[in-house]
């Protein structure tokens, strides 16, 4: 399994526009092969800061997602919105168990 997690920051004035762009990409991504989870959450203490969390069955599934037209459209929307910072990482998970 592959987990993608991190943060994306946009101008606080663009908070609602980010949510609209995310609302468009999330259902399309969740329909992709190998996608277990794909979500964004607004940081309640920092307008314009969003937490990113994804789970993929394999690196190949994630790589296919990175080439998907709807992800390219989302990235273009972020460029228009004014992406300030992105700190998103890929984690290769060998085992999962309840906490």
**pLDDT digit string (tens) for 19-63?**
999 999 999 999 999 999 999 999 999 999 999 999 999 999 999
**pTM listed for this prediction:** 0.93
Predicted local distance difference test score (pLDDT) of residue 40: 98
**In the prediction, which pLDDT does 13 show?**
95
Q: Does the domain formed by 2-46+60-92 have CATH 1.10.1060.10?
A: no
Spell out the long-range contacts of 71-77 with Cβ–Cβ below 8 A and sequence spacing 24 or more: 71/25, 71/29, 73/24, 73/25, 74/21, 74/22, 74/24, 74/25, 77/17, 77/21, 77/24
Q: Using one digit for the tens of pLDDT, what is the confidence trace for 4-13?
A: 999 999 999 9
């Amino acid at each position: 399994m592959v987990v993608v997690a991190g943060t994306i920051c946009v101008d606080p004035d663009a908070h609602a526009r980010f949510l609209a762009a995310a609302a468009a990409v999330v259902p399309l991504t969740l329909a992709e092969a190998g996608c277990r989870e794909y979500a964004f959450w607004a940081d309640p203490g920092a307008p314009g800061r969003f937490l990113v969390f994804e789970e993929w069955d394999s690196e190949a599934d994630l790589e296919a997602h990175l080439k998907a037209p709807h992800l390219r459209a989302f990235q273009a929307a972020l460029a228009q919105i004014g992406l300030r910072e992105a700190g998103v990482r890929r984690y290769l998970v060998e085992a999962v168990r309840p906490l």
